[in-house]
């Protein structure tokens, strides 16, 4: 943490959602919309560090949950037989990755989760000398493998025929393969990289997509979600508007009880920034080395990991001085995401903070 400039992970995660700061500042002085009447919160210090909150806190969370739900669409399109066929194809992708048959940036490995980029891949801020939200860049053309034909034939065509996406929309397909207890931390799909909507299809097992969580690590702990969306095997989930742009989403470890894979289908923006010959990676060699044979993570899946309680246990200091941002959720009106994309650079220039982003 010292290297990233943050003494506490909560500051890092807070910096990943700068749109919440304005909301918090709006209420921290006890005023709202210039009325001078604040929404009261009562905190009580006791031996067990309990705290009391007014009904407004629950009401705000319920309002935000409704906004999230209203900007999500779900459909059950794929039959169990179709799922089984697609899952066989996913296993073939995994086998090719283990054999080292893909291009250098197609496979991205993490403990209990492997990611496979097709069509377009992108690098996160932590891999660049200039780090922080908004620094994500697409790889150069040809540095990841093309979208497999079976993804077009078995998945994309079905979505087009069912009116989920228009024909020709998808140019980026990502397969996330989770082992039990695997996760992906809270994030917003980069606005300057991807157009909306964000479409995903789930396979192998049921799981859940959570919104508005905060992660802590060593050991991993996850705060209470604003909204939990069940995702069933074969279901299609479409995120747009508020759910895609105004609140983070994640996969919690406890929600991956069995192996689960998801195919994420997106369209990159035509003006999305791309790495070029002048871009400098934090550890770029003079010449690109030959790709090594890929191997799966040596970390074995813990069969009990998905069942352990993983609740946020804040330290005593924070319990004595609870952060309003933990309970205040952004409920301001959702701007058009195209406008947000245009204003993103202005916000990034004004923030001036360097953040070490986790890969997601």
| 78 belongs to a structural domain | yes
| 353 belongs to a structural domain | no
- The neighbour count for residue 85, using CB atoms within 10 Å, is 13
- Residue 105's closest CA among 335, 315, 288? 288
Share of the chain above pLDDT 90, in %: 54
| 112 belongs to a structural domain | yes
10 phi and psi angles, rounded to 5 deg = -65, -35
More confident call, 1 vs 266: 266
| 278, pLDDT greater than 50 | no
Spatial distance between the Cα atoms of 127 and 141, rounded to a whole number of angstroms: 18
Partners of residue 167 on adjacent β-strands: none
More confident call, 109 vs 5: 109
Q: Tens digit of pLDDT for each residue in 62-96?
A: 999 999 999 999 999 999 999 999 999 999 999 99
Does residue 203 contact residue 262 with C-beta atoms inside 8 Å? yes
Spatial distance between the Cα atoms of 98 and 227, rounded to a whole number of angstroms: 36
Dihedral, 334, 335, 341, 343 alpha carbons, nearest 10: -120
Q: Tens digit of pLDDT for each residue in 157-183?
A: 999 999 999 999 999 999 999 999 999
| 9 belongs to a structural domain | no
- Least-confidence region, from 121-135, 202-216, 310-324: 310-324
Residue 262: its pLDDT value, please?
98
Spatial distance between the Cα atoms of 320 and 318, rounded to a whole number of angstroms: 5
325 phi and psi angles, rounded to 5 deg = -70, -20
Q: How far is CA 217 from CA 189, 208, 213, 313, 358, in A?
A: 22, 20, 13, 11, 12
Length reported for the chain: 360
Helix (H) / strand (E) element for 18: namely none
| 179 belongs to a structural domain | yes
- DSSP helix/strand/coil, 229: strand
Partners of residue 182 on adjacent β-strands: none
- Which domain covers residue 129, as residue numbers? 60-268
Overall number of domains in the chain: 1
| 302 belongs to a structural domain | no
Cα R_g (the chain), whole angstroms: 21
Residue 25: its pLDDT value, please?
44
Which residues does 354 contact at the CB level (< 8 Å), separation at least 6? 4, 5, 131, 132
Instruction: Kindly list the catalytic residues.
Output: 122
pTM value is 0.65
HEC string of 254-303? HHCCCCEEEEEEECECCCCCECCCCCCECCCCCCCCCCCCCCCCCCCCCC
Spatial distance between the Cα atoms of 5 and 50, rounded to a whole number of angstroms: 31
**Band of residue 339 on the pLDDT scale cut at 50, 70, 90:** very low
| 335 belongs to a structural domain | no
Does residue 184 contact residue 279 with C-beta atoms inside 8 Å? no
Does residue 272 contact residue 360 with C-beta atoms inside 8 Å? no
- DSSP helix/strand/coil, 207: strand
Residue 178: its pLDDT value, please?
98
Helix (H) / strand (E) element for 176: namely strand 172-178
Which residues does 57 contact at the CB level (< 8 Å), separation at least 6? 41, 327, 328
Helix (H) / strand (E) element for 322: namely none
Residue 134: its pLDDT value, please?
83
Domain holding 253: CATH number?
2.60.120.590
| 97 belongs to a structural domain | yes
Sign for the pseudo-dihedral over CA of 199, 256, 71, 328? negative
């Amino acid at each position: 943490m010292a290297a990233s400039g943050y003494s506490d992970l909560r500051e890092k995660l807070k910096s990943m959602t700068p749109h919440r700061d304005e909301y918090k500042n709006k209420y921290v002085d006890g005023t709202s919309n210039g009325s001078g009447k604040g929404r009261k919160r009562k905190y009580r210090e006791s031996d067990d560090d309990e705290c009391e909150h007014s009904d407004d806190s629950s009401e705000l969370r319920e309002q935000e949950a409704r906004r999230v739900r209203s900007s999500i669409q779900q459909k059950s399109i794929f039959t169990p037989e179709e799922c089984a066929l697609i899952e066989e194809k996913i296993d073939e992708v995994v086998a090719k990755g283990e054999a080292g048959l893909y291009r250098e940036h197609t496979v991205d490995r993490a403990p209990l989760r492997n990611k496979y980029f097709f069509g377009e891949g992108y690098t996160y801020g932590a891999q660049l000398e200039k780090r922080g939200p908004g620094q994500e860049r697409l790889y150069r053309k040809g540095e990841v493998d093309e979208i497999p034909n079976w993804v077009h034939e078995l998945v994309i065509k079905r979505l087009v025929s069912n009116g989920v996406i228009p024909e020709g929309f998808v140019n980026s397909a990502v397969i996330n393969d989770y082992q039990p207890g695997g996760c992906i931390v809270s994030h917003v799909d980069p606005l300057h990289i991807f157009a909306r909507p964000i479409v995903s299809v789930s396979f192998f097992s049921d799981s859940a997509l959570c919104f508005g969580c905060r992660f802590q690590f060593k050991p991993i702990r996850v705060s209470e979600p604003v909204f939990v969306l069940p995702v069933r095997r074969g279901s299609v989930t479409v995120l747009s508007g508020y759910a895609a742009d105004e609140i983070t989403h994640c996969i919690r470890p406890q929600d991956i009880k069995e192996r689960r894979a998801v195919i994420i289908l997106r369209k990159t923006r035509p003006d999305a920034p791309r790495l070029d010959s002048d871009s400098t990676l934090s550890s770029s060699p003079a010449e690109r080395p030959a790709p090594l044979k890929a191997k799966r993570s040596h970390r074995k899946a813990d069969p009990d990991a998905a069942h352990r309680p993983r609740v946020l246990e804040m330290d005593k200091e924070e319990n004595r001085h609870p952060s309003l941002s933990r309970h205040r959720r952004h409920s301001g009106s959702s701007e058009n995401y195209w406008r947000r994309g245009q204003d993103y650079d202005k916000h990034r220039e004004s923030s001036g903070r360097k953040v070490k982003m986790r890969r997601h």
